[in-house]
Amino acid sequence: MKKYLSCLGLLLFLSYLTAQNPLLDIINKNKTTFGDIFDRPDDYEVQIIYTQIERDKENVPHFKSHYYHLDSTNYFYPASTVKMPTAFVALEKLNQLNIKGLDKFTPMRNGVGSAPQTEAATDASAKNLLPSIAHYIKKIFLVSDNDAYNRLYEFVGQEALNKSLHEKGFTDLRLIHRLSAPRYTAETNKHTNPVTFYKNDNLLYHQGEVYSEASTNLGLQNEIKGKGYVDNEGKIINEPFDFRVKNYISLQNLHDILKTVLFPASVPAHQRFDLTEADYAFLYKYMSMTPKASDYPKYDKPDGYVKFFMFGGDAPTIPDHIKIFNKVGDAYGYLTDVAYVMDTKNNIEFMVAATIHVNGNGVFNDGVYEYASKGFPFFKDLGNLIYAVELKRRQNSN
């Protein structure tokens, strides 16, 4: 009898937890949909945040977040998600320079200060064939362009980038290297190019090469991973891969940074980015735009190209009434997406962020990952299951 009561008590407790956390309910009711992912969540390094949004009579949003295996001290590689905060800080830096005639559309030139830096003086995808902060941000959110991120990283500077985010309370991060730039080392990534802004023949601002003294030690767990990796020369090295010199940003920080820009009035003033109303409008436009909707730059990509949740990264079309403001990342077998989903037809809005690791052979940089078979379906299914819960919630509230 005592054993029966003990089991009953455990079941009641688990039912209570599920009722308090709809994310757990979604997972428990749909485990078979996800294969073995939720049977082995530690192996897949799964972390999820699901935030419900309710608006009061004054249309003020209120947020309630639910979590699964969230751990800001457990390292995962954030890949291209780091481009999102870098874009925000780049806009903030422009505003704080407060130079007449200098804005996000002003032509910019990244020069060369020391090896192995490269110059960027033109951009064939821009209408005027010239790079700018605005054009790089478009490329970041439309197709997750690596060079665009690198040029913003060089403008902001490694130390200033981290300091700006830390001062806002986003301390579970280190953004310390360019992307897809194997010629750079941890040391040369501390050096950022000279940058010039100009209009016609008029110099508006020049910034020389900058050296960073940013600290990179966050005391994270599991920064040395796997059983092997392929080095820059294509050789297989049969020892664990060291991520201690790689970028990091926690899932919670990513979620909160996105929330800060989409709902600035909902966070303390010190947490907000120094952005103008025009900056916000610009960001909202391109964070939710599909690649094919852009003229400059022009892309022939499916609507779901950088929309993992609900659309799996490859959906040909997304319904007009659904807008997703997000940033994805994929590299080394890690997939991450942080998103705000809005359905204007059904009056639905929610936030969701997740990361998963699908590197079954334990070898990094070999290009052999289970993105198509496990990673993208995970995001597509999770997004649609949460959307279904939100749709039911909205119908029940009417």
User: Cβ(282)–Cβ(294) under 8 Å?
Assistant: no
For residues 96, 102, 106 and 112, what is the CA-based torsion angle, rounded to 10 degrees?
Answer: -70
Of 90-94, 120-124, 215-219, 291-295, the least confident: 215-219
Residue 352, Cβ neighbours under 10 Å: how many?
Answer: 27
- Beta-carbon contacts of 81 under 8 Å, excluding residues fewer than 6 positions away, are 249, 254, 327, 328, 329, 336, 337, 338
Q: What pTM value is reported for the model?
A: 0.95
Give the pLDDT confidence score for residue 12 in this predicted structure: 38
Q: What three-state secondary structure class fits 314?
A: coil
Domains, the chain: 24-397 (3.40.710.10)
DSSP 55-66: E-TT--EEEEEE
How large is the average pLDDT for residues 363-369?
97
pLDDT tens-digit series, residues 200-239: 999 999 999 999 999 888 999 999 999 999 999 999 999 9
